[in-house]
Structure 1
Amino acid sequence: MSDQFELLAPGGDLESIKAAIIAGADAVYCGLDNFNARNRATNLTFENLSGVVRLAHQHQCKIFLTLNVIILESEVPALIRLLNKLVNTDIDGVIVQDIGLFSILKTHFPTLDVHASTQLNTHNEGQILFLKQLTASRVNLSRELNIQEIKHLAQFGHQHDVLMEVFVHGSYCIGFSGLCYISSVRNGSSGNRGRCSQPCREQYQTTDAGKDYPLNLKDNSAYSDMAALADAGVYSLKVEGRIKKSHYVYTVVDSWRKQIDSYCSKGEMLTDTSRLYTVFNRDFSNAFLKGDINKNMFIDNPRDHAATHFSNVYSCTSMDDVKAVKKKLYDTKTDIIHEVERVTKDLCVEKLPLDVKLIAVEGQPLKVELRTLHGLVELQSESNLVASGKYTLDSEGVAKWVNSFANADYQINEIDLSALASGLYIPYKEQTVIKEQVAVVLNGNKPLVAPVELDKPQQSANTASGHEVGQQPHLYTLISSQSDLLLLDQPNTTVYFQLPEALASDLPRMVALFKDNDQLVPWFPAILIGENYEAAVSFLEQVKPSRIVTNNSGVGYAAYQQGVDWVAGPQMNINNSYSLACLKEEFNCVGAFVSNEINKKQIKPLVKPDNFELYYSIYHPITLLTSRQCLFHQTVGCKKKRFDDKCLRKCDKSASILSLKHASYVVDKQRGAHNALYSQENYLNLDVLRDHSGLFDGYMVDLRDIKTHTQMALEKPELLDAFRELLNGDVAPTALHAMLAPTTMAQYKKGL
Structure 2
Amino acid sequence: MKKIELLAPAGSYEALVAAVQNGANAIYLGGNAFSARAFATNFSREELKKAVIYAHLRNVKIYVTVNTLYEDNQFENLKDYLLFLAAIDVDALIIQDIGLMHFVKKYFPDFEIHMSTQTSIYNLSAVKYFEGLGVDRIVLARENSIEEIKNICNNTDLDIEVFVHGALCMSYSGQCLMSSMIAKRSGNKGACGQPCRLAYKLEKDGKNLDSVPSYLLSPRDLCTLDNIGILIEAGITSFKIEGRMKRPEYVAVIVKQYREAIDVYLKKQELNDVNNRIIEMKQMFNRGFTKGYLLHDNNFMAKEYPGNRGIDLGTVVDYDKKRKVVKIKLLNRVKQGDRISFKSTDFVRTITKLFLNQKLVNQANKNSIVEIELNTAVKKGESVYKIIDIELIEKAKTSYQKEQIKNPITMHFSGHINNYATLKIYYRDTIIEIKSNQVIEAATSAPLSKERIKNQLAKLGNTIFVAEKINIEFPENAFLSLKEINEMRRRAIDKLIVLLTSTKKHNINIVENNRILTNKTIKGIYVRVHSLIQLNALIDQDIKGYYFPLSKHLDEAIQLAKKHQKKVIPFINFLNNEKQLMNFKNSNSYQEIDEILVGDYGALKIFNDKKCILDATFNLYNSYALEHFKDYNAILSLEMSKKQINNLTNISQNITMIAYGKTINMHIKHCLISEHYFKRKKIGCNKCKEGNYKLVDRKGEKFEIQTDELCNNLIYNNHCIYIKNLDTLKVDYILLSFLNEDAKTVKFIFEEFKHILSDENRQIPAFIKHTSGYYND
Q: TM-score, normalised by structure 1?
A: 0.76
**Counterpart position of 2:582:** 534
Do 1:511 and 1:539's aligned partners in 2 also have CA atoms closer than 8 Å? Answer: no
Choose the corresponding residue for 1:606, options 648, 657, 670. Answer: 648
- Is 2:720 the partner of 1:719? no
1:344 is aligned to: 400
1:217-616 paired onto structure 2 within 5 Å = 217-270=219-272, 271-272=274-275, 273-292=278-297, 294=298, 296-308=300-312, 311=314, 319-321=328-330, 324-325=333-334, 330=339, 333-345=389-401, 448-455=505-512, 458-459=515-516, 464-467=518-521, 473-487=523-537, 489-500=539-550, 510=554, 513-514=557-558, 517=561, 519-535=567-583, 537-538=585-586, 542-543=590-591, 545-560=593-608, 562=609, 564-584=610-630, 588-589=631-632, 591-610=633-652, 612-616=653-657
**Alpha-carbon offset, residue 127 of structure 1:** 1.2
Cα distance in 1 for partners of 2:259, 2:145 equals 23
State the alpha-carbon separation in 2 of the partners of residues 633 and 517 from structure 1: 37
- Partner SS for 2:245: coil
Deviation, 1:713, is: 11
Check the 8 A contact 2:548/2:554 in 1, yes or no. Answer: no
| Contact 1:123–1:529 under 8 Å retained in 2 | no
In structure 2, how many angstroms separate the alpha carbons of the residues matched to 1:515 and 1:535?
20
For 1:131 and 1:319, the matched residues in 2 are separated by 56
SS in 2 for 1:643: coil
Separation in 2, partners of 1:648, 1:63: 47
Whole-angstrom CA distance in 2 between matches of 1:529 and 1:510: 17
Question: Residue type of the partner of 2:296?
Answer: G
Shift of 1:653: 4.7
State which of 737, 750, 753 in structure 2 corresponds to 1:702: 737
Distance 2:756 2:739 in 1: 21
Alpha-carbon shift at residue 223 of structure 1 (Å)? 1.5
**Alignment-mate amino acid for residue 697 of structure 1:** D
Give 1:533 deviation, angstroms: 4.2
Q: 1:672-683 counterparts in 2 under 5 A?
A: 674-683=712-721
Q: Compared with structure 1, are the counterparts of its residues 93 and 627 closer, same or farther at alpha carbon in structure 2 (3 Å cutoff)?
A: same
- 2:727 paired residue among 687, 690, 693: 690
| Counterpart for residue 667 of structure 1 | 705
Deviations 1:316-363 (A, max 9, x none): xx8231585476965873233333433433569xxxxxxxxxxxxxxx
SS of residue matched to 1:149: helix
Q: Quote the offset at 1:517 in angstroms.
A: 4.5
Q: Which of 666, 682, 685 is the matching residue for 1:625?
A: 666
- Whole-angstrom distance in 1 between the partners of 2:758 and 2:252: 63
Aligned AA (1:613): N
Q: Which has the higher helix share?
A: 1
Q: Is the 8 A contact 1:665 1:680 kept in 2?
A: yes
Structure of higher RCO (CA pairs closer than 8 Å, 6+ residues apart): 1
Q: Tell me if structure 2 keeps the 8 A contact 1:216–1:298.
A: yes
Deviations 1:215-239 (A, max 9, x none): 1111111122222212211111111
Unaligned regions of 5+ residues in structure 2, if any?
203-207, 316-326, 340-362, 364-387, 405-431, 436-497
Structure 1 residue matching 2:512: 3-state secondary structure: coil
Give the secondary structure class of the aligned counterpart of 1:477: strand
Mapped partners of 1:34, 1:477: distance in 2: 38
Q: Is the 8 A contact 1:149 1:530 kept in 2?
A: no
Matches of 1:453 and 1:541, distance apart in 2: 47
**Alpha carbons 2:116, 2:139 under 8 Å: kept:** yes
CA shift in 2, pair 1:524/1:340, >3 Å: same
3-state DSSP of counterpart to 1:741 = coil
- AA aligned to 2:394 is H
Secondary structure of the 1:266 match is coil
Cα deviation, residue 570, structure 1:
1.1
Q: How many residues align?
A: 621
> How far apart are 1:257 and its partner, in Å?
0.6
- How far apart, in 2, do the equivalents of 1:28 and 1:648 lie? 44
Amino acid at match of 1:607: T
Aligned partner of 1:738 among 765, 768, 772: 765
- Structure 1 CA distance, aligned partners of 2:223 and 2:594? 45
Q: Alpha-carbon deviations, 1:95-144, whole Å to 9, x = none?
A: 00001111111111110000010001111122112222332211111111
Write out per-residue CA displacement over residues 649-703 of structure 1, whole angstroms, 9 at most, x where no aligned residue.
Answer: 975753333333564433333555621222222110122x1242xx111101111
Q: Specify whether residues 528 and 60 from structure 1 end up closer, same or farther in structure 2 by C-alpha distance, changes over 3 A only.
A: farther
> What is the rounded CA distance, in whole Å, between the counterparts of 1:541 and 1:664 in structure 2?
37
Secondary structure of the residue aligned to 1:87 is helix
Give secondary structure in 2 for the equivalent of 1:212.
Answer: coil
Q: 2:187 aligns with which of 185, 191, 204?
A: 191
Contact 2:178 2:666 in 1 (8 A): yes
Asked whether the 8 Å contact 1:69–1:192 carries over to 2, the reply is yes
8 Å Cα contact 1:182-1:625 kept in structure 2: yes
Distance 2:586 2:605 in 1: 13
Task: Classify the secondary structure of the residue corresponding to 1:129.
Answer: helix
Q: Please give the per-residue CA displacement for 1:147-199, whole angstroms capped at 9, x wherever unaligned.
A: 11111112122xxx211111110011111110101111122110001110101
Looking at structure 1, the residues matched to 241 and 334 of structure 2 have their Cα atoms a distance apart, in angstroms, of 27
Provide the rounded CA distance (Å) in 2 between the counterparts of 1:691 and 1:42. Answer: 41
Q: Deviations over 1:728-749 (max 9, x none)?
A: 33x4222xx1265221114324
1:164, 1:340 → 2: CA distance? 30
1: CA distance between counterparts of 2:267 and 2:605? 41
Matched residues in 1 for 2:634 and 2:686: separation? Answer: 28
Distance 2:170 2:130 in 1: 25
Q: In the TM superposition, what is the alpha-carbon distance from 1:59 to its structure 2 partner?
A: 2.1
1 CA distance for matches of 2:389 and 2:285?
10
Closer, same or farther: CA 170–663 of 1 in aligned 2, 3 Å:
same
The structure-2 alpha-carbon separation of the partners of 1:325 and 1:448, relative to structure 1 and needing over 3 Å to count, comes to: same
Structure 1 position 644, deviation (Å): 4.5
- Segments of 5+ residues of structure 1 without an aligned counterpart are 313-317, 349-373, 378-440, 501-505, 707-711
Q: Flag the 1:5–1:535 CA change in 2: closer, same or farther, 3 A.
A: farther
Alignment-mate amino acid for residue 287 of structure 2 = R
Q: Which amino acid aligns with 1:127?
A: A
Using the TM superposition, give the Cα deviation of residue 40 of structure 1 relative to its aligned residue in structure 2, in angstroms: 1.1
Question: For 1:649 and 1:543, how far apart are their aligned partners in 2?
Answer: 35
| Residues 199, 213 of structure 2: 8 Å contact kept | no
Shift of 1:630: 1.1
Contact residue 165 and residue 235 of structure 1 kept, 8 A: yes
One-letter amino acid of the structure 2 residue matched with residue 741 of structure 1? I
Q: Matches of 2:7 and 2:102 in 1, distance apart?
A: 25
Supply the RMSD in Å over aligned alpha carbons.
Answer: 3.2
Asked whether the 8 Å contact 2:314–2:328 carries over to 1, the reply is no
Bigger Cα Rg: 2
Q: 1:511·1:543 contact (CA, 8 Å) conserved in 2?
A: no
Distance in 2 between residues matched to 1:681 and 1:23, nearest whole Å = 48
Contact 2:89 2:503 survives alignment (8 Å) = no
Distance 1:553 1:649 in 2: 31
